[in-house]
A and B are shown apart, each in its own frame.
Chain A
Amino acid sequence: MIPVRALGFGVSDLEERRFADASMSVQFIVLFRDDDDNKDDSCKSLLYHDLTQHVLSTNDKEQKIGIIKGMWRFSNEFSRNGKYCHFELESYSMIVLEVEPSYYCAIGFDSAYSSQWPKYLVQLSHCYQYFVMQQGKMRHIKDKTLSGLLNEHFIPYWDEVNLIPDYFLMQDINTAIDDRMFPCCQFSDALDGVSEVKEWQNYLKNNIILSQENYSNVKDVCIYHLPKNNNNTKEYGFVTNFDPQFRSLPVLSNWLVGIDSMYGTVSSHGLAGTMSLAETERQIELEAEEAQHAQPTNMKTVWDNVTLPISFTMDALKDIGQLTGVSNSLSLFTNMKPTWNPWSSSTENSANSTKNDEKDEYSWLISPLNPSFLPKVYQMRNFYLQFDTWSQYNVLFWKFKEVIAAVIIEPEFKRISEESFLMKLQEDLWNGISLFYENPGFEKRHCSFDYTILYKEESKYYSSIPFWKNGLDESDNALKLVIKGLDETLHFLTNNANRKSSIATVTEVGHDMSLTDHTVPTGPSGKEGDADQSTKNGTSIFGKLSESQLLELNKKLLIILGNRTLTTSYKDANSKERMIKLNNGLMVYLFENNTKLVLIVKNWFIDSQPKIRSKRSINMIESLGKDVTSWWNRIKDHEPM
């Protein structure tokens, strides 16, 4: 007989562990290589990182890699050409992805999130894609270098994800569909089937891409509209680019959107890859108190990653001071007005906003004009991108209000560092985007339902489902932004643990060359948009939900969406429709054929639209109501929007 006492302990232990793990959704990351020609049948471990701070011996790690590989091979006995795999165990789940031939990535996560595995898969794939974009294909990197690079890329990436509780539940349903899909802005004329090239597009094309000096040197310009708040998804995402052969567009777009959603905004630190999230000291203390046994390993010491020598950083701080036009005195440093601060209270924000708006209308975020003492990544990003073939390109980033432009330039083009070239480029961009702001033409029509349309070939999706963005509702200040190297020195020098003293929240390293002769146009997107948004929020079913309801809805949608993969093998039925109506008011319609996927979410309780009585509705979509039908009739024949 088991003693009651012992049983009691067991249960509470289990619960405690479960509770502790629940906040730590990702448990381990493994990367390994399994060469086809390896004689001793052993896999080469490239990275094994346990995020739960469990200490594992090399033997333990190799065992796990061996078992993962064993299962992979075992399942290939039954089906060839496996691409990815989901393991479900009682206490955790695991995703294994073959990223390159013989190269495998695996992550393990808590079983409480097991049903969310498609989101983990997409995220893992993104993480790998961003790595390749920055460092190149794994198979081209030597093992010794590779392990170091993987360490630097994968570990901070998943550490950040783990800092945010319920990260994957919060993510909207669109992040679970496919790893190549990226969000796009919606324009009302395109929705109506008018697909004419706009004036501002022509301007940018003629003056930047096709201009005599730039031709074939500037490969492409990708324009994104990334507003700070996440209320209106229709105005969020990719706007346009100019080279239809740019195959890495999904990766670049998702990378930008990912930075925006993780840090709340796109800044030069985010683009340079030096910014990261960390728990505030207060939060760490709170957690330590909760855990009773304060572990020193849990403390994120600020000295663990100092990459810049202190003397060097002293110079850096002075230069930043000069750059932003503030005295170079260190005592003034913390008094500088933040150019943006997603963590600050709303009153503070509004007080500063007008000034900031005027000052920071446009600037180079990543350009050779940034001070030369800063790491190279602040001058230009060197990305592996694919047009016709894979190659390295220099990428510059420029910002104007809420528009981000990524300029992709041939590596051989030397004029990139010349101020005159950048000045001219900025002027052209400014003119083009100003034209855009004069009449953005975003889709603003009210609709009482939410939707996502995904065009498979173009990898683009258009959605009205609100996305998750970090830092918007941070009232408890559990997280802060830190910049690798610079922040640590700043803390040391000022002996100030105040979270606002991070460079990330104090200043932007952008270079803004003033174009004094231009006045900033006040676009019509301002107040009208806000008014529109409030009505939209009133009717969209996502806008009305509390956080827990939203999590529940996200879970349900993922189940419905996940089931669609079960019917992929029926090739003869190339157009599949399904509609699900639940008693709690949720109504979901899903349509999929070879070219697109349409998801419509509606609350049938609040369906004020009169039912169509006049004619018999043969099509399933007509059961969703008049507004959906008329919307569908508008968009169904032309693509993409």
Chain B
Amino acid sequence: MEKSASFQINPQNSARATTSVDLTNHLSARGLFHSDADAGTSASIKTKSNPESATATISGSVGADADLNIDLQSLITSELNSIYPATVNQSTSNKSANTSRFIGERTGKDKHFFIFTSAGKLVFSQWENESHAMGLTGIIHTVMNYFNINDNTSMKQFSMYDGDGIMTRFVFADKNHIKLMVQCSNNYESTAQLQQQLDLVYSYIISSVSQRNLNKLMMKRSNFDLQHYLTDLDQQLLQSLCDSLATQQKLTWFANSLECLPMTPKKRNAINTVLSSQYLDFNISNRNGQILYTLVTSLDMRLISILRPSNHTLHTIDLQILFELVQLQLTDLLLDKVLWFPICFPKFNDNGFLYALIKVLPNRTIIMVISSQKNAFETLNEFVGRIGDKLMEDVNSNNLEFPLLDWHKMFPCINHFVYKMKRTVQIYTPFQPTNEMLQYYNHLKNLCEDDQGRTLNKSSIAMLKWKNDTSPGQLSGLYWTTEKFELYILLNDINISNQSILRSAKRLIQHMREVESYLFISRGVTF
């Protein structure tokens, strides 16, 4: 692997390069890097790259250089591939599911997010031409205000249908001081799902600014220019979030839940024990209250373990935002850097900031520690270091994942599935679905829900089959929802009786229940 030439990082530059605003005078800045505690003293950082690849010495400023970033992205991708061959390149059985035949690829042109302040100032849009976007924002703003003032009501959505019944939908959200709209003509996302996405985007802004700051800024001057208040990095992150919502939505967003790394309970318990023992040690040494949450995840943001106060859980959206932030800066993290930034968890407390320390451990897992104290970096860094050491000592850190390998043989008619456990809001899927698969799952879910996301019944089964009358082959799937779980199944293109499909689905659910302790985290470690 000779992708990266030999270059060096100057630690003084690295902090400025990745973020445009100084933490001391800008609370909302995030992504400030501290060099690794071990390597920080030396002038150059040696990355611990793949053992097979030649050791690369990196020098120069990293963050600001876009080309270099792209280069690094490809490096990371290839690295991820080598680490997780099973998840990225999982080969399925020979039978296909025909998704790409019936479902076209998404260009991203069918969905646009617009964000503006309640005074009508544009904050962000995905529209290519900004002056045109401003014009459109003006219309949206007028329309929303007209109904607010004249009819004392608010706009939820409007949909335009053409002669064939294909629609373009506009969904609105009026939050405190910020208004959002998404235009979407992809025909498979319901109003409820789009509203959920607007909420995610809004939460993302709040995670950077906090509701209290926003109120202060807007009360002082209602025509405050939020667009220029947000840092370049914020804008970049917002852009990347909206782009991925438009082109390649994530499974966790679709299912509104988190994904866990399947592991043997023994290994997970060992990690849990390390977390709790280290936490106790820390508290004994009089540093009580500095650590609020500790999360361990894999590099692809699948949860391994969580340490939390017994009376507080974190909201899924809060965690999704955190994971999104971390993933976008994974390039830097993999260079053995430590990420330290303030973050507001909108669903936890939208008025204040918490502080997160993120680091990649030597065993290729990410540890995230969240504190309520601004100046706890040193303490947290020490805590993370100790956990890292202990994990290397106690847990056989290679091959943490325990994949379900033989499910194809057990369920020959199933091409892909997603199982959601409603109690813990976690999902399991054998491998990440493609865009087309996700689109199809959206349709399956829509069968049993109305446009507002209300289910037809607590428990229902739906089947969907698409065919072309002139050529052989079909696309079919099944959706099963009860109070306890949701199951999405994409079937192989084989002729199979309905009874056997249902039987397979039943057996799959049974199997999922049997291996529940492998697939899901039921409580985590609490204190």
The chain B residue sitting closest to A576, CB to CB, is B466
- Docked-complex contact A63 and B162, CB < 8 angstroms: no
Is B101 close to A, CB under 8 A? Answer: yes
- Docked-complex contact B158 and A78, CB < 8 angstroms: no
- Chain B residues with CB under 8 A of A60: 150
- Chain A residues with CB under 8 A of B167: 565
- Docked-complex contact A78 and B183, CB < 8 angstroms: yes
Is B39 close to A, CB under 8 A? Answer: no
Stretch at the interface among B19-27, B235-243, B440-448: B440-448
- Docked Cα-Cα span, A90 to B174, in Å, equals 12
The chain A residue sitting closest to B147, CB to CB, is A89
Stretch at the interface among B81-89, B136-144, B403-411, B514-522: B136-144
The chain B residue sitting closest to A67, CB to CB, is B146
Chain A 187-208 per-residue mask, 1 if CB under 8 angstroms from chain B, else 0? 0000000000000000000000
B516 to chain A, nearest CB (A): 23
- Docked Cα-Cα span, A569 to B457, in Å, equals 27
A51 to chain B, nearest CB (A): 15
B186 to chain A, nearest CB (A): 8
- Chain A residues with CB under 8 A of B447: 560, 563, 578, 580
- Docked-complex contact A616 and B160, CB < 8 angstroms: no
Known: A75-B168, A89-B155. A570 touches B102 (CB 8 A): yes
- Docked-complex contact B154 and A90, CB < 8 angstroms: yes
- Docked-complex contact B151 and A91, CB < 8 angstroms: yes
- Chain B residues with CB under 8 A of A64: 150
Chain A 576-595 per-residue mask, 1 if CB under 8 angstroms from chain B, else 0? 11111111101000000100
Task: Select the residue from A64, A80, A87 with max chain B CB neighbours within 10 A.
Answer: A87
- Chain A residues with CB under 8 A of B495: 618
Is B107 close to A, CB under 8 A? Answer: no
Chain B 164-202 per-residue mask, 1 if CB under 8 angstroms from chain A, else 0? 111110100000000000010101100100000000000
B1 to chain A, nearest CB (A): 41
Which one, A574, A578, A582, contacts B463 given CB within 8 A? Answer: A578
- Docked Cα-Cα span, A570 to B168, in Å, equals 15
A10 to chain B, nearest CB (A): 12
The chain A residue sitting closest to B480, CB to CB, is A581
Chain A 67-78 per-residue mask, 1 if CB under 8 angstroms from chain B, else 0? 100111011111
- Docked-complex contact B162 and A79, CB < 8 angstroms: yes
Known: A75-B170, A559-B456, A576-B465. A63 touches B150 (CB 8 A): yes
- Docked-complex contact A89 and B456, CB < 8 angstroms: no
Known: A77-B136, A78-B168. A71 touches B143 (CB 8 A): yes
- Chain B residues with CB under 8 A of A162: none
Is A294 close to B, CB under 8 A? Answer: no
Chain B 122-151 per-residue mask, 1 if CB under 8 angstroms from chain A, else 0? 000000000000001001101100110011
Is A568 close to B, CB under 8 A? Answer: yes
- Docked Cα-Cα span, A60 to B467, in Å, equals 51
- Chain B residues with CB under 8 A of A565: 161, 165, 167
- Docked Cα-Cα span, A74 to B136, in Å, equals 8
- Docked-complex contact A91 and B152, CB < 8 angstroms: yes
- Docked Cα-Cα span, A312 to B435, in Å, equals 74
- Docked-complex contact A620 and B162, CB < 8 angstroms: no
Which one, B154, B160, B466, contacts A82 given CB within 8 A? Answer: B160
Is B94 close to A, CB under 8 A? Answer: no
- Docked-complex contact B468 and A566, CB < 8 angstroms: no
- Docked Cα-Cα span, A583 to B446, in Å, equals 17
- Docked-complex contact B463 and A573, CB < 8 angstroms: no
- Docked-complex contact A89 and B143, CB < 8 angstroms: no
- Docked Cα-Cα span, A91 to B155, in Å, equals 9
Is A444 close to B, CB under 8 A? Answer: no
Is A567 close to B, CB under 8 A? Answer: yes
- Docked-complex contact B152 and A575, CB < 8 angstroms: no
- Docked-complex contact B466 and A575, CB < 8 angstroms: yes
- Docked-complex contact B464 and A578, CB < 8 angstroms: yes
Among residues 416 to 462 in chain B, which have CB atoms less than 8 Å away from a CB atom of chain A? Answer: 443, 446-451, 456-462
- Docked-complex contact B159 and A581, CB < 8 angstroms: no
6 residue pairs of the A-B complex, CB under 8 angstroms, read A60-B150, A71-B158, A78-B160, A82-B162, A567-B187, A620-B463
- Contacts A64-B150, A580-B462 known; list 12 others, CB within 8 Å: A78-B185, A82-B160, A83-B163, A88-B155, A88-B157, A559-B456, A563-B447, A567-B443, A617-B497, A618-B496, A620-B465, A620-B498
Interface residues of B (CB under 8 A from A): 101-103, 112, 136, 139-140, 142-143, 146-147, 150-168, 170, 183, 185, 187-188, 191, 443, 446-451, 456-469, 475, 495-500
Nearest 4 pairs of A and B residues by beta carbon: A573-B466, A616-B497, A583-B459, A582-B457
